[in-house]
Amino acid sequence: MLKAGAEVVGIDFSDELLQATRNINGGGFFTQGGSLTRLPFKDNSFDYVFSIEVLEHIPDTEIAISELIRVLRTNGKILIIDKNKCSLHQKLFVPPRILIKKYKEWSNQWMYPKDFVFVEKWFYPWELKRIMKIYCKGVEIEFLKENGRLFSLIPQINLFIAWKGLKHE
């Protein structure tokens, strides 16, 4: 995006991550502290908003999406990429990845400790589409490609989904 001449704004509540991004070269990249459920921007501030593997870490998904839409200009584009609850493991195929995740959480092998207050969420394709349709027109789902023959034949079992839409007038 920077190479195309766009001004890019990144937001995170982690000072460490914000500091790490300050070394990105090329200018046009700005960072700001904040939360996806209370974005520190005025209404209608951006032509495009992207959320890539963020919603899975946010307790209130609908509030987060409404905030992304609030800062998006009318007819602006939103792209959300996150994990597919229906995905299958590339090597094992069965059980579904969500069961592997649940086992790892139960056995304290996941990125969050077993007793952590929050559990990372994955989404059914229709879940985010339903929420986005409240605020957007032309909502589409794209199952992102993974390596492997089966995964190219049945894209609905891939790990990542892209939800896309245009903000209503």
The domains of the chain are located at: 41-49+70-167
Q: What Rg value do the Cα atoms of the chain yield, rounded?
A: 17
Residue 18, SS3 per DSSP: helix
Q: How many CB atoms are closer than 10 A to CB 53?
A: 12
Close Cβ partners of 118 (under 8 Å, ≥ 6 residues apart): 57, 59, 112
Q: How many CB atoms are closer than 10 A to CB 60?
A: 12
Render pLDDT for 30-78 as a digit per residue (tens, 0 to 9). 778 888 999 999 999 999 999 999 999 999 999 999 999 999 999 999 9
**Residue 102 structure tokens:** 């649940």
What backbone torsions phi and psi does residue 152 show, to the nearest 5 degrees? -80, -25
With residue 17 as reference, give the H or E element that holds it: helix 15-21
Instruction: Give residue 125's region: left, alpha or beta (phi > 0; psi -120 to 50).
Output: alpha
| Segment among 4-18, 34-48, 74-88 with least mean pLDDT | 4-18
| pTM score of the predicted model | 0.85
Tell me what pLDDT residue 151 has.
56
- Give the C-alpha separation, 118 to 47, whole Å: 32
